[in-house]
Amino acid sequence: MEEEHSMEEEHSMEEAYSMEETPPMGTRRIGLMGGTFNPIHVGHLMLAEWALDALKLDEVWMVPAGMPYMKAAQNILPGAERLRMAQLAVRGNGRFRCLDLEVKRQGYTYTCETLEELRGKYPEDAFFFIAGADCLFSIEKWKAPERIFANCTLVAAVRGENTLPEMEAKKRELEERFCEGRKIALLPFLHMSISSTEIRERIRRGQSVRYLVPDDVLAYIREKGFYREKSD
């Protein structure tokens, strides 16, 4: 049974993932999705599901950012509300859960610190930080990328205009600069042009966002009157 699993894994991961990073048996493979989630939308959920499947993850944990320092100038909803929406979105999926460690942290939140905190708490698990292609191209501006790569494999999914060959080149450049060995996996993904920015804009213009966010999230946004005024 175990053997069957690993062969299947090898086959499905040919392109995207090197077997070198497969953790010893008995450890969990945990996907982490960081984001502002302002609000969480079906693009996030589908990406989480896609990665879960492609990388044979055991779980995906959504990690809403407390105060992301790269978005500090923007007026974003409080962390507790973004966490609440993420919790509503993952309800009913036993493999997804939400972590509150960033929204609870004072001050700016940095991915490198979150990963170190999780590494300390779960030393046996393998972490896969799931992100869209935009993050692959901005991660060098994040705080201490080498500390990020020390604790996870970055899984970058195709998004927007970015193509796999461009991403391949960036992956090589980053790996050379910040980490030894293969620590970046590229994930072919549906081109979904959906973003939280677009959702906020649509709500502000009085347009429908039904089916762009889960129904429970939509109901909560309506109940609270979120995003009716310009919020960034």
Regarding 153 and contact with ligand ATP (CB under 6 A), the answer is no
Give the list of residues 6+ apart from residue 151 with CB closer than 8 angstroms, or none: 112, 115, 116, 118, 119, 127
Choices 91-99, 128-136, 166-174, 216-224 (CB under 6 A): range interacting with ligand ATP? 128-136
- Strands 29-35 and 67-68 turn out to be unpaired
43 contributes a contact to ligand ATP by CB under 6 A: yes
Residue carrying structure tokens 């347009």: 207
What does the block give as tokens for 116? 């170190």
Q: Does 134 bind ligand ATP (CB under 6 A)?
A: yes
Return the residue of 8, 197, 207, 229 that touches ligand ATP, per CB under 6 A. Answer: 197
Q: Do the Cβ atoms of 134 and 165 come closer than 8 Å?
A: no
Per-residue DSSP letter, 23: P
195 is a site residue for ligand ATP (CB under 6 A) = yes
CA distances from 90 to 18, 94, 107 (A): 29, 8, 26
Least separation in angstroms between residue 204's CB and ligand ATP is 13
Q: How far is the CB of 24 from ligand ATP (least distance, A)?
A: 28
Q: Which two tokens stand for residue 214?
A: 């889960």
Distance between CA atoms of residues 149 and 107, nearest Å: 23
Of the pair 11, 205, the CB lying nearest ligand ATP is at 205
Site string for ligand ATP, 3-42 (x = CB under 6 A): --------------------------------xxxx----
> Per CB under 6 A, which region of 23-31, 51-59, 90-98, 132-140 contacts ligand ATP?
132-140
Tokens of 190: 């549906």
User: Which residue's beta carbon is nearest to the bound ligand ATP?
Assistant: 132
157 binds ligand ATP (CB under 6 A): yes
Task: For residue 132, state whether it binds ligand ATP (rule: CB under 6 A).
Answer: yes
Which helix (H) or strand (E) is 127 found in, with range? Answer: strand 126-132
How big is the site for ligand ATP, counted in residues (CB under 6 A)? 19
Half-sphere exposure of 7 (CA within 13 A, CB side): 4
**In the complex, what is the shortest distance from the CB of residue 143 to ligand ATP, in angstroms, rounded to a whole number?**
16
DSSP class of residue 221 equals H
| Residues within the interface to ligand ATP (CB under 6 A) | 35-38, 43-44, 47, 131-132, 134-135, 157, 159, 189, 192, 194-197
